[in-house]
Amino acid sequence: MVNIGVLISGSGTNLQAIIDNINRGEIKGKIQIVISNKKDAYGLIRAEKAGIETLYINRKEFNSVEEYNRRILDELKRRKIELIVLAGFLNILTQEFIEEYRGRIINIHPSLIPSFCGKGCYGDKVHQMVLDRGVKITGVTVHFVDEGTDTGPIILQSSVKVAEDDTVETLKERVLKVEHELLPKAIRLYCEGRLVIEGKKVRIK
């Protein structure tokens, strides 16, 4: 069993998908803690309902982003977390954090990286940019986290067609459906030891 820590900022539908997969016995892992940087994140309630320990850590209580990250890191290490999943965690991690957990942090992004990603490109903004640019295909990427923003080795990708009459809401809904398949799948593969990072590439054994 892999000890998993999930970081969230919002509604936590991806967290819910992971919980459901674990409950069905599809992932050889256990979520030990869900940490949020937002007090009112609905994902915290989802976790509580599932009997998972939750923690809200307020950035404003720390003098620097480094101290804030160190606190999150301490909480994860104290619980012997082996895999960190960023499930809609809309915050940048520090170098120290990433070094400590290199190759053991997974992020989900609601577009086909390297399109519509990078600094300031997250959540609904991504779908708005996709619609504004008029692309016909968008999608989902699950990747390992490195020091850059959305630049780490890609584990899985899946495409979603953009419809002419799509709004942010309708597109987001279809993309989320795919996210809820892809993120648990990547975690399952990780927990089975089937993901091999080779430079920028991830080989699935």
Q: Is 139 in the site for ligand GAR (CB under 6 A)?
A: no
CB nearer to ligand GAR: pick between 87 and 202: 87
54 binds ligand GAR (CB under 6 A): no
Binding mask 71-110 for ligand GAR (x = CB under 6 A): ----------------xx-------------------xxx
Could you give phi then psi for residue 130, rounded to 5 degrees? -60, -45
Taking CB under 6 A as the criterion, the residue among 4, 6, 7, 12 binding ligand GAR is: 12
In whole angstroms, what is the distance from residue 132 CA to residue 39 CA? 32
Q: Is 34 in the site for ligand GAR (CB under 6 A)?
A: no
- The answer to whether residue 123 forms part of the interface with ligand GAR (CB under 6 A) is yes
Residue 14 binds to ligand GAR (criterion: CB under 6 A): yes
**Minimum distance, C-beta of residue 64 to ligand GAR, in the bound complex (Å):** 22
Considering only the stretches 77-85, 92-100, 118-126, 159-167, report the one whose residues sit in contact with ligand GAR under the rule CB under 6 A.
118-126
Residue pair 174/185 in contact (Cβ under 8 Å)? The answer is: no
Residue among 95, 103, 112, 97 nearest 7 (CA): 97
Q: 14 a known binding residue?
A: yes
Residue 12 annotated in ligand binding = yes
Active site (annotated) includes residue 109: yes
* Closest among 87, 109, 104 to 38, alpha carbons compared: 87
Beta bridge partners, 16, equal: none
Asked whether 102 and 21 are in contact (CB, 8 A), the reply is: no
The 154-161 sheet, strands edge to edge = 53-56, 29-36, 2-8, 83-86, 105-109, 137-144, 154-161, 201-204, 195-198
Residues that bind ligand GAR in the complex, under the rule CB under 6 A:
8, 10-14, 43, 87-88, 108-110, 122-123, 126, 176, 179
The catalytic site residues sit at 109
